Amino acid sequence: MTDEKKLHETLKEKFDDFKADVDVHKAEHQEKDALKDVEKAAKHDVKSDVDLDKAADNVDKAVEREAEAKEG
């Protein structure tokens, strides 16, 4: 009976170690996913800034054209 208990404890320890390894692996993947999300958000912010700059340029051009049209 002692051998069965030791075997059970050994299997449980192995399972616990395996589970810990899986948890570490999951955490690493979650960290990578989080970094990808941060990079994606940063790229989106840069793109938004560029889009805002383009929109502001278009507004400036429209104001200039309107002023020229009123003069002409």
pLDDT, mean of residues 9-19: 91
**pLDDT value at residue 8:** 74
pLDDT, mean of residues 41-64: 91
Q: What is the pTM of this model?
A: 0.54
Q: What is the mean pLDDT of the chain?
A: 89
Separation of alpha carbons 1 and 3, rounded Å: 5
DSSP conformation letters of 19-46 = HHHHHHHHHHHHHHHHHHHHHHHHHHHH
**pLDDT value at residue 29:** 94
